[in-house]
């Protein structure tokens, strides 16, 4: 299973299979009868500083997860606050938030005693006690807020039934038991109140830079929004910098969440508008409304991005993100994604992002560069694919031309695809060899995108290559998916945040269109159904007429793997550096 750790996924001191078999009966007996006296334990709440990361698990905010990460121990410590405990709960992890093939910690009560154990679910959702107990219970205590449950889990356990905790997105799942159960096997996961929450569990251990004494703050918040009574809403609000606002550096930002709405505000972004327009209309409403002015589509330069579970974002002490001053628009667009699955009505919200900025400019301007694939229909994914791979290149020729001799330093990254994206990774290659992973997310979700600070700053020098690979799933689609801007089209992008800023803003590729034309010729030669290749027929139309048999799929995969690529090595003015077609590495 892709989401479960196998004994070969990391070298660990695992017992042999036969030894584990012998031990399993003893371990299972202990686990089933592990009683915790949660009712009898009274005390104060654990200190919040011990668990710096926090996220609500459910839309009502009845379950609140806090955690810390110990890299020396290679373990995560969890604190789960249950505000209204009934007869127990399930908490765990799975590949994409499924309750089948999941790795679970289960607290359950038969009405008399309470039990805790490490469990797993099979492909049918049936629960089983794990023979190796890797969710280690550390304590349980009652407080005025509710029941605090503390437990520990190693990143890697050598248990084939356990989830391997890795960098990137983790799909957390929960289920609430509303009736007593007499055994773990009696829990019917399809009949309980359940849900999922996405987080980045393994936060980077970054030292917070010292902030300057002249630092000021600015809150970009949507004023008194009545959250629509529907599951998903994207809300847009236009803000404006003061007249004559001089050039500053943003050095930090953090979320501002209206109290009580922590479970509804899913993610937020602040965009700066294009400087080519003198003014932008005021707007405060749904982003998909017909009343939204079209000009707001020109507000796309990201200044800040936050997603649920993220903390404050800090720029390195030697760099800041410039805004204000000549050549910079005074207009900003705040976009808030409200996730309201319980369809609450009449909830008011004034959330947003607080920017911390300074007039004392730091040594370097930070920049944002797009890596990956060009937004073009020449890159396509056939229907019915479980893991189709596309790769975009920032070539050695481009970095040789565009980067300074001392190179650049990448300190943060935001991965991006549309709905079919499942994995994204960017690697640094030097002299034809992969040297370093820039950012990777093996459980990527298009519903959870945030700017993530990297654990280590990545140095990129002239002549290096940055290779971004995306994996897609189109099993639920009957038509081909082409590249483009539409939500049902696809993208493969890594927005890397770096310093010092250069003229290079976009470093991406696509397959050479001439070789795609040869592909359509080949399809016509070997298939009964003819693909129309008339000049007036668009590339998407040609793809839509391809019969997606095994041969046509395999040839397209080969084309994307070996055909020459067209490089887009663009300056911020959209003028290209003189780099064109190149062979794939």
Backbone φ and ψ for 338, nearest 5 degrees, come out as -95, 130
Same domain, 172 and 249: no
Residue 528: band (very low, low, confident or very high) from pLDDT cuts 50, 70, 90? low
pLDDT at 537: 82
Q: Are 297 and 283 in contact (CB under 8 A)?
A: no
pTM, 2 dp:
0.84
Residue 9 lies in a domain: no
Quick check: 336 pLDDT over 50? yes
Quick check: 123 pLDDT over 50? yes
> What would the two tokens of residue 25 be?
């009966």
Same domain, 279 and 293: yes
Same domain, 382 and 358: no
Same domain, 189 and 246: no
Q: Of the candidates 103, 121, 211, 197, which has an alpha carbon nearest to the alpha carbon of residue 159? A: 103
Same domain, 344 and 437: no
pLDDT at 266: 87
DSSP annotation of 19 reads H
Distances in Å between the Cα of 544 and the Cα atoms of 178, 391, 454, 540 are 49, 22, 40, 6
CA distance 326 to 557: 47
C-alpha atoms less than 13 angstroms from C-alpha of 122 in its C-beta half-sphere = 6
Residue 24: band (very low, low, confident or very high) from pLDDT cuts 50, 70, 90? very low
Task: Tell me if residue 173 falls in helix, strand or coil.
Answer: strand
Mean residue pLDDT of the chain comes to 88
Residues linked to residue 393 through DSSP beta bridges, in sequence order = 467
| Helix residue ranges, H only, 453-578 | 513-526, 539-544, 550-562
| H helix or E strand, kind and range, residue 27 | helix 17-32
What number is the average pLDDT over the span 237-252?
Answer: 95
Residues 6+ apart with CB under 8 A from 558: none
Structural domain boundaries, residue 174: 53-199
CA distance 336 to 266: 8
What number is the average pLDDT over the span 336-353?
Answer: 93
Same domain, 168 and 244: no
Quick check: 287 pLDDT over 60? yes
Q: Of the candidates 370, 377, 391, which has an alpha carbon nearest to the alpha carbon of residue 300? A: 370
Quick check: 436 pLDDT over 70? yes
Quick check: 10 pLDDT over 50? no
Quick check: 583 pLDDT over 70? no
Same domain, 378 and 495: yes
Q: Are 223 and 351 in contact (CB under 8 A)?
A: no
Residue 483: band (very low, low, confident or very high) from pLDDT cuts 50, 70, 90? very high
Query: Cis omega before residue 500 (within 30°)?
Result: yes
Residue 531: band (very low, low, confident or very high) from pLDDT cuts 50, 70, 90? low
pLDDT at 582: 56
Residue 292: band (very low, low, confident or very high) from pLDDT cuts 50, 70, 90? very high
Domain CATH for 525? 2.60.120.230
Residue 578 lies in a domain: no
Same domain, 455 and 350: no
- Number of structural domains found in the chain: 3
Q: Of the candidates 562, 513, 563, which has an alpha carbon nearest to the alpha carbon of residue 542? A: 513
Dihedral sign of CA atoms 538, 544, 489, 506 in order: negative
Helices (H) and strands (E) in the chain, counts: 5, 37
Q: Are 344 and 227 in contact (CB under 8 A)?
A: yes
Task: Tell me if residue 299 falls in helix, strand or coil.
Answer: strand
Catalytic residues: 234, 416
Same domain, 193 and 226: no
| H helix or E strand, kind and range, residue 103 | strand 103-109
Indicate the residue among 362, 382, 404 that finishes a domain. 362
3-state helix, strand, coil in the chain (%, to 5): 10, 40, 45
Of residues 269 and 527, more confidence is placed in 269
Domain CATH for 169? 2.60.40.1210
Place of tokens 């830079």: 209
């Amino acid at each position: 299973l892709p989401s479960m750790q196998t004994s070969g996924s990391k070298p660990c001191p695992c017992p042999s299979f036969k030894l584990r078999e012998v031990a399993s009966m003893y371990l299972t007996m202990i686990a089933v009868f592990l009683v915790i006296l949660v009712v009898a334990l009274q005390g104060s709440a654990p200190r919040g500083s011990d668990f710096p990361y926090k996220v609500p698990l459910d839309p009502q905010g009845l379950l609140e997860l806090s955690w810390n990460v110990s890299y020396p121990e290679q373990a995560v410590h969890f604190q789960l606050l249950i505000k209204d405990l009934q007869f127990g709960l399930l908490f765990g992890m799975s590949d994409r938030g499924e309750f089948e093939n999941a790795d679970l910690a289960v607290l359950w009560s038969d009405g008399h005693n309470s039990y805790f154990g490490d469990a797993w679910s099979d492909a049918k959702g049936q629960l089983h006690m794990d023979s190796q107990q890797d969710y280690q219970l550390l304590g349980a205590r009652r407080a005025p807020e509710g029941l605090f449950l503390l437990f520990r889990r190693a990143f890697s356990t050598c248990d084939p039934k356990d989830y391997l905790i890795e960098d990137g997105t983790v799909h957390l799942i929960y289920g609430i038991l509303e009736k007593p159960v007499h055994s773990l096997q009696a829990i019917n996961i399809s009949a309980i109140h359940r849900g999922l929450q996405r987080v980045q569990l393994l936060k980077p251990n970054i030292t917070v830079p010292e902030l300057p004494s002249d630092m000021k703050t600015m809150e970009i918040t949507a004023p008194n929004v009545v959250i629509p009574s529907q599951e998903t809403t994207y809300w847009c609000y236009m803000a404006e910098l003061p007249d004559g606002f001089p050039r500053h550096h943003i050095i930090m930002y953090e979320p501002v969440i209206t109290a009580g709405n922590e479970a509804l505000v899913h993610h937020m972004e602040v965009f700066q508008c294009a400087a080519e327009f003198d003014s932008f209309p005021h707007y405060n409403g749904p982003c998909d409304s017909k009343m939204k002015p079209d000009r707001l589509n020109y507000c796309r330069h990201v200044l800040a991005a936050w997603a649920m579970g993220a903390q404050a974002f800090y720029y390195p002490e030697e760099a800041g993100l410039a805004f204000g001053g000549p050549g910079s628009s005074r207009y900003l667009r705040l976009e808030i994604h409200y996730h309201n699955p319980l369809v609450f009505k009449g909830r008011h919200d004034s959330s947003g992002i607080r920017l911390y900025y300074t007039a004392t400019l730091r040594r370097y301007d930070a920049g944002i560069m797009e890596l990956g694939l060009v937004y073009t229909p020449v890159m396509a994914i056939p229907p019915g694919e479980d893991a189709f791979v596309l790769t975009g290149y920032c070539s050695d020729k481009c970095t040789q031309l565009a980067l300074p001799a001392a190179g650049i330093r990448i300190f943060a990254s935001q991965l991006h695809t549309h709905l079919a994206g499942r994995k994204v990774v960017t690697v640094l290659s030097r002299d034809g060899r992969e040297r370093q992973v820039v950012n990777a997310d093996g459980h990527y979700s298009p519903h959870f995108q945030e700017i993530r600070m990297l654990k280590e700053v990545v140095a990129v020098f002239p002549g290096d290559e940055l290779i971004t690979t995306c994996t897609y799933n189109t099993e639920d689609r009957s038509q081909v998916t082409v590249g483009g801007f539409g939500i049902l089209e696809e993208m493969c992008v890594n927005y890397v945040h770096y310093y010092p800023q250069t003229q290079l803003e976009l470093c991406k590729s696509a397959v050479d269109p001439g070789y795609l034309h040869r592909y359509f010729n080949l399809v016509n030669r070997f298939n009964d159904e003819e693909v129309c290749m008339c000049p007036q027929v668009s590339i998407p139309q040609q793809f839509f007429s391809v019969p997606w048999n095994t041969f046509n799929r395999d040839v397209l995969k080969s084309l994307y793997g070996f055909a020459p690529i067209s490089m887009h090595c663009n300056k911020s003015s959209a003028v290209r550096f003189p780099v064109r077609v190149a062979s794939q590495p």
